[in-house]
């Protein structure tokens, strides 16, 4: 990150003074959050550092606007400036990803997926059902018609990646709304290699015949061949939906191209705008022209009023991602993940799939005699911020888990490179090697408590500080 002008420090300091005049505890928590992030090795794959321009864009009077509807067709007056903001964000998204259509209103990745699911149902189920019922739109339906329509909408099939294989909650996991909207089944990975087996996915799709085939992941450390997923979808007449929330930055940065770029192959692509894309927290939907009109009904179909200030920040972040420097950044993210994986492997740690070729490294911590929860907590004590994660056929389930997920986007933003990530691997292995599982009050083995060796946390924090000081977060930003 380059040094920020002194004006930026002045703006943030004055903003915190204004906040403190109303609720000083919030101002103090904000200062402390920056201090904590500066002092920590942030390795959560779904987190990053947005630029000051993106952050500042969210703190404007666009926050005060209601703007339900779409560009030029709002349910509130005086939305001409919101129209400008939304149009620019959508334009940048289309140009950046080469998409036919972009919808930038979703508040989160889950919202984006819900918009996509309901758009698919509307396009492939609701419209044909209306035609069968002799109605032009839903306003003409009788109560009996609605019963018939609900029955059809409620019995649709979705095939997505299982949670322990690296999929997401919104890909048909039963406790999530996606698992309740659809009759769902899941595909996994090869039990020996942990890799996607496209023949197995094809066989399951032919047997299950889903309406929606979901590709994409939140904890799969490999690339996906979306051309093959498109072939499978076509063979069974399914809509191919890709959730690229985690790797959108690698697509935008031209690290994933050809068959590994989902946009040319999928009917609908969803994403968040933070994570590897390095924007504000929010969601987005890209679609072919066939689905554009249905996606455009996201509000009021699924969403409430769009967050205009966040859409403005999305426009700024997407404009940043269209700069040549972002391609360099995205390639560094992937290269650094390789360095981290190699650092773990040469120190004897076991990685799910044996390595990585995206931005994620998934570490199996059972060889250290720990659960994911114990490892996550011990690392946090040492200033290493990660998150526990399930691994394929996880014996400890989704709460305690047997894995730790690492991601390289955030520290790459700070300027970390090969040598630093090798050192990070050394520090992590040192912490885990010197952590022991605790016991329950009854004296049995615990999945949560742990004992961290004397001096390990302090040693790790000191080594981390040397690297962090060389790559300061928001350099030049000093808060009074």
Rounded to the nearest integer, the mean pLDDT of the chain is 93
Closest by CA to 385, choosing from 407, 357, 362, is: 407
Tens-digit pLDDT profile for residues 67-126: 999 999 999 999 999 999 999 999 999 999 999 999 999 999 999 999 999 999 888 887
Longest dimension (CA), the chain: 75
In a domain, 56, yes or no: no
In a domain, 477, yes or no: no
In a domain, 130, yes or no: yes
Separation of alpha carbons 423 and 348, rounded Å: 15
Count of domains forming the chain? 2
Residues 313 and 350 in one domain: no
Band of pLDDT at residue 382, cut at 50, 70 and 90? very high
In a domain, 34, yes or no: no
Six-digit token string for 75: 């349910």
Residues 342 and 272 in one domain: no
**How far does CA 75 lie from the centroid of its chain?**
31
Domain CATH for 223: 3.40.640.10
Tens-digit pLDDT profile for residues 36-53: 999 999 999 999 999 999
Band of pLDDT at residue 1, cut at 50, 70 and 90? low
Beta-carbon count within 10 A of 34 CB: 15
Residues 377 and 418 in one domain: yes
Taking each helix axis as running N to C, give the angle between helix 418-433 and helix 372-381, from 0 to 180 degrees, rounded to the nearest 10.
110
Are the CB atoms for 206 and 235 separated by under 8 Å?
Answer: yes
288 vs 477: which has the higher pLDDT? 288
In a domain, 24, yes or no: no
Out of 289, 321, 353, a domain closes at 321
**Coil vs helix vs strand at 273:** coil
In a domain, 129, yes or no: yes
Band of pLDDT at residue 264, cut at 50, 70 and 90? very high
Residues 313 and 410 in one domain: no
461 vs 180: which has the higher pLDDT? 461
Residue 4, pLDDT > 70, answer no
Residues 203 and 248 in one domain: yes
Separation of alpha carbons 326 and 248, rounded Å: 12
Give me the pLDDT at residue 2, please: 65
Residues 300 and 449 in one domain: no
Residues 75 and 100 in one domain: yes
Q: Report which DSSP code applies to 91.
A: H
Six-digit token string for 325: 């420097």
Q: Report which DSSP code applies to 185.
A: E
Out of 292, 321, 350, a domain closes at 321
Percent of residues, the chain, with pLDDT higher than 70:
97
203 vs 445: which has the higher pLDDT? 203
Out of 304, 321, 338, a domain closes at 321
Domain CATH for 410: 3.90.1150.10
- How many angstroms separate the Cα of 23 from the Cα of each of 33, 63, 463? 16, 19, 36
Beta-carbon count within 10 A of 135 CB: 15
Q: Which domain holds residue 230?
A: 62-321
Residues 197 and 260 in one domain: yes
In a domain, 162, yes or no: yes
Band of pLDDT at residue 166, cut at 50, 70 and 90? confident
β partners of residue 351: 363
């Amino acid at each position: 990150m380059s040094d920020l002008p002194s004006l930026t420090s002045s703006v943030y300091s004055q903003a915190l003074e204004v906040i403190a005049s109303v609720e000083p505890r919030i101002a103090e928590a904000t200062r402390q959050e920056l201090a904590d992030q500066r002092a920590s090795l942030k390795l959560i794959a779904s987190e990053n550092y947005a630029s000051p321009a993106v952050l500042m864009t969210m703190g404007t009077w666009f926050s005060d606007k209601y703007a339900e509807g779409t560009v030029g067709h709002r349910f509130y007056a005086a939305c001409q400036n919101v129209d400008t903001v939304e149009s620019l964000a959508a334009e940048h998204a289309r140009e950046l990803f080469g998409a036919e259509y972009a919808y930038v209103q979703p508040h989160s990745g889950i919202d984006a997926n819900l918009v996509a699911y309901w758009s698919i149902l509307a396009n492939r189920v609701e419209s044909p059902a209306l035609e069968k019922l002799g109605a032009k739109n839903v306003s003409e339906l009788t109560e009996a018609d609605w019963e018939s329509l609900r029955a059809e909408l409620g019995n649709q099939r979705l095939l997505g990646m299982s949670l322990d294989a690296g999929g997401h909650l919104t890909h048909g996991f039963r406790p999530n709304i996606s698992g309740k909207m659809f009759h769902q089944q899941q595909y996994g990975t090869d039990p020996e290699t942990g890799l996607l087996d496209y023949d197995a996915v094809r066989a399951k799709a032919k047997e299950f015949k889903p309406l929606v085939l979901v590709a994409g992941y939140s904890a799969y450390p490999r690339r996906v061949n979306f051309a093959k997923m498109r072939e499978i979808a076509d063979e069974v007449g399914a809509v191919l939906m890709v959730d690229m929330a985690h790797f959108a930055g690698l697509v935008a940065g031209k690290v994933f191209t050809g068959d590994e770029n989902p946009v040319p192959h999928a009917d609908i692509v969803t994403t968040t705008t933070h994570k590897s894309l390095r924007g504000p927290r929010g969601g987005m939907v890209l679609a072919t022209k066939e689905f554009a009109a249905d996606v455009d009904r996201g509000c009021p179909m699924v969403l409430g009023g769009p967050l205009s200030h966040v859409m403005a920040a999305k426009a700024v972040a997407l404009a940043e991602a269209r700069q040549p420097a972002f391609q360099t950044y995205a390639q560094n993210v992937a290269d650094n993940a390789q360095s981290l994986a190699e650092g773990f492997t040469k120190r004897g740690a076991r990685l799910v799939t044996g390595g990585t070729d995206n931005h994620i490294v998934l570490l199996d911590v059972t060889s250290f005699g720990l659960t994911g929860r114990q490892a996550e907590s011990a690392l946090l004590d040492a200033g290493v911020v990660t998150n526990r994660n399930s691994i394929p056929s996880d014996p400890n389930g989704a709460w305690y888990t047997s894995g730790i997920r690492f991601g390289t986007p955030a520290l790459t933003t700070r300027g970390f490179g090969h040598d630093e990530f090798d050192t990070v691997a050394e520090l992590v292995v040192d912490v885990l090697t010197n952590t022991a599982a605790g016991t329950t009050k009854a004296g049995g083995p615990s999945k949560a408590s742990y004992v961290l060796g004397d001096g390990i946390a302090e040693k790790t924090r000191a080594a981390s500080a040397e690297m962090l000081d060389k790559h300061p977060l928001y350099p030049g930003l000093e808060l009074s």
